[in-house]
Amino acid sequence: MAHTFRRCSLALIFITMWLLIKAKIDECKRGDVTVKPSRVILLGSTVNISCSLKPRQGCSPYSRRNKLILYKFDRRINFHHGHSLNAQVTGLPLGTTLFVCKLACINSDEIQICGAEILVGVAPEQPQNLSCIQKGEQGTVACTWERGQDTHLYTEYTLQLSGPKNLTWQKQCKDHYCDYLDFGINLTPESPESNFTAKVTAVNSLGSSSSFPSTFTFLDIVRPLPPWDIRIKFQKASSVSRCTLYWRDEGLVLLNRLRYRPSNSRHWNMVNVTEARGRHDLLDLKPFTEYEFQISSKLHLYKGSWSDWSETLRAQTPEEEPTGMLDVWYMKRHIDYSRQQISLFWKNLSVSEARGKILHYQVTLQELTGGKVMTQNITGHTSWTTVISRTGNWAVAVSAANSKGNSLPTRINIMNLCEAGLLAPHQVSANSESMDSILVTWQPPRKDLSAVQEYVVEWRQLHPGDDTQIPLNWLRSPPYNVSALISENIKPYTCYEIRVYALSEDQGGCSSILGNSEHKAPLSGPHINAITEEKGSILISWNSIPVQEQMGCLLHYRIYWKERDSNSQPQLCEIPYRVSQNSHPINSLQPRVTYVLWMTALTAAGESSQGNEREFCLQGNSPLGN
């Protein structure tokens, strides 16, 4: 963009000069303006400007009536009565300055006599860092250089190239801001060690300067074209243990450098190869991973420069059999005296473990006492639920499958995870660490500490009612740890039921607590849906606050009541929050008195606004409401 601006500026100078020449033809009939020593001067020089009238071109034959005025652009800088005016001017800035001489006669407008444009600049500096390059064996020689400071004058650049047998090529550039020229000739590899010398000379009206000569050979300046037609071939479709990268190069290429990386990585793996002849084997690629490949070329071990990198080849390596084992967890729920529901959950394998697209999971359920496989199931989900007998010893195995095979199965014995009270961790606490994480801490079991093989911390969003569809999260912790930071699927202003399990080889113990990462006062209070009279007391029933309005873990409910139309402070009853509770008795109301009742809920951050109001009069068995 700057280069275009400079071209436009130069064009504007030429247009201005042409207009001045035309103006001189039209406007210099009455007199002349002369500039000495020259109209093109070095920065800091002094010039003498003279303006003189031609015969019979003044206001009158008497010179004192002729007032000549010299303008610098539109600012008056000198005047004189007579037929001529002389002025010495210093301190002119770089660039073009316009001077105009005018004649002022009594009782008439000023008349333009003539004008002059003075160009102030500097001699060209010595061009620096001259370098030449030929792109490709069939390309042409082009050179670039640094001009130095702007001369502010028309400057011509001449680029000369000398070669063997007194051959000489020359190219000129009449662009004011020239720093690049292409000779349009092609150097051939017939004499790769023959010397060529390039030199650039800058000339303007104030002087000239030449660069230091730059001497080079064919091998020094020819930069190969980037390799093309890049492709990859895997030796066996089922393995990435060996693959070959192919490409095409110019004929004289001796060296190649290859770089490759997974598409989601910023770090390149680099390989340098000699005389590869368009192929190279790669041995360390990961399966089922998209890679980027690029190649560059060079003609000589020590001379010349590398080509630009080739266009990027993107290719995905083949799948391989999964490695690693699934992290499996489970929940038990009693259905009746003879049946129980088992819900299995497992986490996805990491990309490096899956080594392909997981197509399905295989679940095997076995009754250990009889050694008989009872159920085999294929599922595409990361959970599976079944109903089994409450008797017998059960075990499950879960594995992941891609197109090449199955991972090793994860085997677990189904046991009552909270049955062993002596294994239960104690003093469990849950404290907010950030908006999206909770720190869970606990103390080891008071007894059987040596039996603990690992801890499992489990959490899920608290949801009154049926919670079978709520996602389950868990992490495992070694037996020497007594804390865990949970952050997966943790959202602020949401209450979570957190359990800590201590597991031995064949039994487990657990403790639970409610926790949240961030909390506010609830957005609303419980909605009282019924008040009934029971033997001189009342039973208040309410609907739970919607989960999205609880804003954290609820700690208490408050039931308020006061006599209707009374200005006294209400009485209240505070009851601890329990997930399944939705009713509570009040036995301190007076008979035949109408009361107004309402409820609020509290988190650690504060109390909600009140819920709906209900009226009730304790008499007979008929509830009143509005």
Task: State the pLDDT at residue 25.
Answer: 41
pLDDT mean by block of 10 residues, the chain; 626 residues: 47 50 60 93 93 84 77 90 90 93 85 92 94 93 93 92 90 86 90 90 94 94 95 75 90 94 94 93 90 95 93 94 94 90 94 93 88 81 91 91 94 90 92 95 88 94 70 93 95 95 92 94 95 87 92 95 91 88 89 92 95 87 43
Q: Say how many C-beta atoms besides its own lie within 10 A of residue 521's C-beta.
A: 16
Q: Is there a single domain that holds both residue 453 and residue 368? A: no
Task: State the pLDDT at residue 21.
Answer: 47
Tell me the C-alpha distance between 69 and 85, whole Å. 8
Q: Are strands 606-607 and 594-603 parallel, antiparallel or unpaired?
A: antiparallel
- Measured CA to CA in angstroms, residue 192 lies from 6, 188, 216, 217, 299 at distances of 39, 8, 10, 6, 11
Pick from 453, 482, 516: which residue ends a domain? Answer: 516
CATH of the domain at 351: 2.60.40.10
Residue 275's nearest CA partner among 303, 306, 298 is 298
Q: Which domain holds residue 144?
A: 128-222
Tell me the C-alpha distance between 49 and 118, whole Å. 10
Tokens at residue 311, please? 């266009």
Q: Is 534 a domain residue?
A: yes
Q: 266: which DSSP letter? A: S
Q: Which residue in this structure is represented by tokens 């804003």?
A: 551
Hey, CA dihedral for 318, 319, 321, 324, is it positive or negative?
A: positive
Q: Is 176 a domain residue?
A: yes
Q: Are strands 454-461 and 473-477 parallel, antiparallel or unpaired?
A: antiparallel
Residue 476's nearest CA partner among 620, 625, 346, 613 is 346
Q: Is there a single domain that holds both residue 203 and residue 246? A: no
H/E segment holding residue 279: strand 279-282
- Beta partners for residue 114, in sequence order: 101
Q: What is the pTM of this model?
A: 0.67
Pick from 464, 483, 516: which residue ends a domain? Answer: 516
Q: Is 21 a domain residue?
A: no
Length of the chain: 626
Residue 61 makes CB contacts below 8 A (sequence gap 6+) with: none
Tell me the C-alpha distance between 508 and 573, whole Å. 39
CB 260 within 8 A of CB 267: no
Q: Is there a single domain that holds both residue 36 and residue 113? A: yes
The b-or-e profile of 416-438 (16+ CB within 10 A means b, else e) is ebbebeebbbeebebebeeeeeb
Task: State the pLDDT at residue 241.
Answer: 66
DSSP 325-387: ---EEEEEEE-SSSEEEEEEEEPPPPHHHH-S---EEEEEEEETTTTEEEEEEEESSSEEEEE
Q: Is there a single domain that holds both residue 194 and residue 158? A: yes
Q: Say how many C-beta atoms besides its own lie within 10 A of residue 463's C-beta.
A: 14
Task: State the pLDDT at residue 144.
Answer: 95
DSSP 518-536: S----SS--EEEEEEEETT
DSSP 480-503: T--EEEE-TT--TT--EEEEEEEE
What is the CB-side half-sphere exposure of residue 538 using CA atoms within 13 A? 27
Pick from 316, 338, 370: which residue ends a domain? Answer: 316
- Beta partners for residue 61, in sequence order: none
Q: Is there a single domain that holds both residue 109 and residue 59? A: yes
The b-or-e profile of 334-352 (16+ CB within 10 A means b, else e) is eeeeeebebebbbeebeee
Q: Is there a single domain that holds both residue 229 and residue 217? A: no
Q: Say how many C-beta atoms besides its own lie within 10 A of residue 408's C-beta.
A: 14
Tokens at residue 462, please? 């608290």
Q: Is 65 a domain residue?
A: yes
Task: State the pLDDT at residue 63.
Answer: 59
The type of residue at 589 is L
H/E segment holding residue 115: strand 111-121
Q: Say how many C-beta atoms besides its own lie within 10 A of residue 619's C-beta.
A: 12
Number of domains within the chain: 6
Q: Is there a single domain that holds both residue 209 and residue 243? A: no
Residue 247's nearest CA partner among 277, 283, 281 is 277
Q: Is 418 a domain residue?
A: no
CB 50 within 8 A of CB 84: yes
Q: Are strands 84-89 and 67-72 parallel, antiparallel or unpaired?
A: unpaired
Tell me the C-alpha distance between 269 and 293, whole Å. 10
Q: Is 275 a domain residue?
A: yes
Task: State the pLDDT at residue 245.
Answer: 95
Q: Is 2 a domain residue?
A: no
Q: Is 41 a domain residue?
A: yes
